Amino acid sequence: EGNQAGQFQHPVGIVVHQGRVYVADTENDRIQIFREDGTWLATWEEAGEIRLERPMHLALGPDELLYVPLYLADRVVVLTPEGTLVRSWGSSGSQPGAFDAPAGVAVAPDGTVYVADFNNHRVQVFDQQGRFLRGWGQKGHGRGEFYYPTDVAIGTDGSMYVADAYNHRVQRFSPDGTWLSAWGGPATRGIKGPLRGWFNVATAVTVTPDGSVYVADFYNHRIQLFAPEGRWRGTWGRQGTGAGQFERPTDMAIDEAGRVYVVDWGNHRIQRFTWRSYGLR
């Protein structure tokens, strides 16, 4: 914990790209960049004239640009891998195209951008230049409704996964917003719990190239792994400060070698795993 180079204050998001690890050091209002072994390389606190106020769940686009939702600034900024501002969009509000605490972003192969609009309880969709296309969702517990969504991810088949955090579930939609499925707790109606396949605040969702779905299970201090349709495949982690233990994990990223990077929010650190260094159960 701290504000020096290589230290964190409740990090939230992570992306791994071409040997570099980009971490949203959220409460320090910055992004830090590391080598895959954890060697610190750089820190970004601004993008042009824009302060990086509470960067959240990061995403890498097919254009190899970094998409950053700024929770306190109510905007999305797009950066080069070197930190140069390419474009930004957003304003505060509830009208189409505006945000109230954007928390997560995902970019489809065609450049379409999906944003989890946390306090507005919805997902909004934009083109690659930030022009509003459509949106869906309202506050609630039913199909296609949200209760503080925190993250989005694109599946290998083009479907879109939403970490519907305080509904303690993951919802899956077609690209146009048609509801497909959901999982987490009985009847996926907002009931939290510690059982396998259940969540106690689902804070992030990450999809691997083979379609596997990782979910950060915040207050259960674990990562859960699912098949694309939501079938439970395993879990690892428990509360603690030791190796392989977590204190409220918030995000995951997978590198080209298949190693898993986990943002260990409450322990102010990143942990990296291989398939041989932990056992799914």
Render pLDDT for 10-58 as a digit per residue (tens, 0 to 9).
999 999 999 999 999 999 999 999 999 999 999 999 998 999 999 999 9
> Band of the pLDDT at 277, cuts 50, 70, 90?
low
* pTM (2 d.p.): 0.96
pLDDT for 278 equals 54
Q: What is the mean predicted confidence (pLDDT) over 125-150? A: 97
Cβ distance 124 to 116 under 8 Å? Answer: no
Question: Residue 138 — very low, low, confident or very high, per pLDDT cuts 50/70/90?
Answer: very high
Q: Residues 164, 173: contact at Cβ < 8 Å?
A: no
Instruction: Convert the pLDDT of each residue in 106-127 to its tens digit.
Output: 999 999 999 999 999 999 999 9
| 214, HSE (Cβ side, Cα atoms, 13 Å) | 23
3-state secondary structure of 28: helix
Q: Does the pLDDT at position 199 exceed 60?
A: yes
Q: What local confidence, expressed as pLDDT, does residue 279 receive?
A: 54
3 state SS of 209: coil
- Strands 66-70, 169-173: pairing is unpaired
CA 99 – CA 112 distance, rounded (Å): 17
* Number of other CB atoms surrounding residue 136 within 10 Å: 16
- CA distances, 257 to each of 19, 208, 250 (Å): 10, 12, 22
CA–CA dist 83, 63 (Å, integer): 14
Tell me the average pLDDT across 220-248. Answer: 96
d(CA 208, CA 187): 26
Give the pLDDT band (50/70/90) at residue 281.
Answer: low
Nearest to 161 by CA among 147, 179, 143, 148: 179
Name the β-bridge partners of 253: 261
Whole-angstrom Cα distance, residue 69 to residue 219? 23
- Type and span of the H or E element at 50: strand 50-51
What would the pLDDT profile of 171-196 be if each residue is shown by its tens digit? Answer: 999 988 999 999 999 989 899 999 99
pLDDT given at position 189: 86
| Residue 158, number of CB atoms within 10 A of its CB | 12
